[in-house]
Structure 1
Amino acid sequence: MFKLKEKNFIRTISPIVTVIMVAIVGVTIFQLINFPMPWMLGSLFGVLFTQLLWKLPMKWPVFMRNFGLLIVGTAIGQLFTFDILVSMQDTLLFMLFLNIVLSAFCLALAYALQKWAHIPLATALTASIPGGLSQLVVFAEEQEDIDVAVVTFFHVIRVLFVVGLIPIIVSLTGKVPEAIETGSTNILHNGFLILLGFILLPIGKKLKLPVPHFLTPVIIGLLLSLFKVEIAPMDSNLLHIAQLCIGAYIGLLLHPKSLRLPRRVLIGGISSAVLLLIITFFIAEGMVLLFEMDFATSYLSTAPGGMDQMGLIATALQADATQVTIFQLFRMLFIYIIILPLLKWRLLKR
Structure 2
Amino acid sequence: MLKDLKQLALTLMVCLVVGSLFQLLHLPAPYLLGSLFGTWIAGKFIPVSLGELGVPRWFHTIVVLGLSTLIGATFNPEMIPKLSLWAGTVFAMLVTTVIATLAGYQYLHRVRGYERNLAFLCSLPGGQAEVIALSRDLVDKDYVVAFCHLVRVVIVVGMIPLLLALTQGRDGVAASYEVTAQLPGILELPPLTLFEFLGIGIGGYFIAKWLRIPIPHLLGPLILSALVHLTGWVEVPRINEFILLAQITIGGGVGAKLSKIDSKELLSYFWDAITNAVIVVSIYCAVALTIGWLGDLGLMKMVLGFIPGGIYEVTVLALIFGFDVAFVAFHHTVRVLLIFLTLPLFASRMKSSR
Q: What TM-score comes out, normalization by structure 1 length?
A: 0.86
**1:220 shift after superposition:** 2.1
Instruction: Name the amino acid aligned to 1:69.
Output: V
Mark the CA change 1:336 to 1:70 in structure 2 (over 3 Å): closer, same or farther: closer
Give the stretch that moved more between structures: 248-257 or 203-212.
Answer: 203-212
Q: Which runs of 5+ in 2 are unaligned?
A: none
For residues 75-132 of structure 1, the C-alpha deviation after alignment (integer angstroms, 9 at most, x for no partner) is: 2211113553542323324423332233223223222212443321210111101122
Aligned to 2:168, what secondary structure does the other structure show? coil
1:52 aligned to which of 44, 49, 57: 44
**1:310 shift after superposition:** 1.8
Give the stretch that moved more between structures: 303-312 or 84-93.
Answer: 84-93
Mark the CA change 1:146 to 1:76 in structure 2 (over 3 Å): closer, same or farther: same
Structure 2 counterpart of 1:241: 245
Instruction: Name the amino acid aligned to 2:156.
Output: V
1:24 aligns with 2:19: no
Instruction: Name the amino acid aligned to 1:130.
Output: P
Are the counterparts in 2 of residues 285 and 298 from structure 1 also a CA contact under 8 Å?
Answer: yes
Instruction: Name the amino acid aligned to 1:297.
Output: K
Are the counterparts in 2 of residues 44 and 248 from structure 1 also a CA contact under 8 Å?
Answer: yes
Structure 2 counterpart of 1:149: 143
Give the stretch that moved more between structures: 186-195 or 128-137.
Answer: 186-195
1:104 aligns with 2:107: no
Structure 2 counterpart of 1:4: none
**1:252 shift after superposition:** 1.5
Structure 2 counterpart of 1:158: 152
Are the counterparts in 2 of residues 40 and 247 from structure 1 also a CA contact under 8 Å?
Answer: yes
**1:320 shift after superposition:** 0.7
Are the counterparts in 2 of residues 117 and 265 from structure 1 also a CA contact under 8 Å?
Answer: no
Give the stretch that moved more between structures: 219-228 or 123-132.
Answer: 219-228
Q: What TM-score comes out, normalization by structure 2 length?
A: 0.85
Give the stretch that moved more between structures: 14-23 or 219-228.
Answer: 219-228
Mark the CA change 1:208 to 1:153 in structure 2 (over 3 Å): closer, same or farther: farther
Aligned to 1:173, what secondary structure does the other structure show? helix
Aligned to 1:253, what secondary structure does the other structure show? helix
For residues 5-29 of structure 1, the C-alpha deviation after alignment (integer angstroms, 9 at most, x for no partner) is: xxx94x5543322212111111111
**1:315 shift after superposition:** 0.9
Question: In structure 1, how many angstroms separate the alpha carbons of the residues matched to 2:258 and 2:190?
Answer: 34
Are the counterparts in 2 of residues 307 and 325 from structure 1 also a CA contact under 8 Å?
Answer: yes
Structure 2 counterpart of 1:331: 335
Question: In structure 2, how many angstroms separate the alpha carbons of the residues matched to 1:101 and 1:223?
Answer: 28
Mark the CA change 1:65 to 1:262 in structure 2 (over 3 Å): closer, same or farther: closer
**1:274 shift after superposition:** 2.3
Q: Which has the higher contact order (CA 8 A, sep 6+)?
A: 2
Question: In structure 2, how many angstroms separate the alpha carbons of the residues matched to 1:200 and 1:217?
Answer: 4
1:121 aligns with 2:116: yes
Are the counterparts in 2 of residues 69 and 246 from structure 1 also a CA contact under 8 Å?
Answer: no
1:88 aligns with 2:109: no
Q: Which runs of 5+ in 1 are unaligned?
A: 1-7
Instruction: Name the amino acid aligned to 2:163.
Output: I
**1:226 shift after superposition:** 4.2
1:174 aligns with 2:177: no
Question: In structure 1, how many angstroms separate the alpha carbons of the residues matched to 2:230 and 2:94?
Answer: 30
Structure 1 counterpart of 2:61: 66
Question: In structure 2, how many angstroms separate the alpha carbons of the residues matched to 1:246 and 1:174?
Answer: 24
Are the counterparts in 2 of residues 296 and 314 from structure 1 also a CA contact under 8 Å?
Answer: no
Are the counterparts in 2 of residues 36 and 168 from structure 1 also a CA contact under 8 Å?
Answer: yes
Mark the CA change 1:14 to 1:297 in structure 2 (over 3 Å): closer, same or farther: same
Structure 2 counterpart of 1:33: 25
Are the counterparts in 2 of residues 314 and 320 from structure 1 also a CA contact under 8 Å?
Answer: yes
Mark the CA change 1:295 to 1:35 in structure 2 (over 3 Å): closer, same or farther: same
Are the counterparts in 1 of residues 68 and 221 from structure 2 also a CA contact under 8 Å?
Answer: yes
Structure 2 counterpart of 1:186: 189
Instruction: Name the amino acid aligned to 1:27.
Output: G
Instruction: Name the amino acid aligned to 1:259.
Output: S
Structure 1 counterpart of 2:233: 229
What is the number of equivalent residue pairs in this alignment?
Answer: 341
Identical positions, percent = 23
Aligned to 2:258, what secondary structure does the other structure show? coil
Are the counterparts in 1 of residues 33 and 251 from structure 2 also a CA contact under 8 Å?
Answer: yes
Structure 2 counterpart of 1:5: none
1:265 aligns with 2:269: yes
Instruction: Name the amino acid aligned to 2:275.
Output: S
CA RMSD after TM alignment: 2.8
Question: In structure 1, how many angstroms separate the alpha carbons of the residues matched to 2:307 and 2:292?
Answer: 14
Are the counterparts in 2 of residues 74 and 193 from structure 1 also a CA contact under 8 Å?
Answer: no
1:251 aligned to which of 251, 255, 266: 255
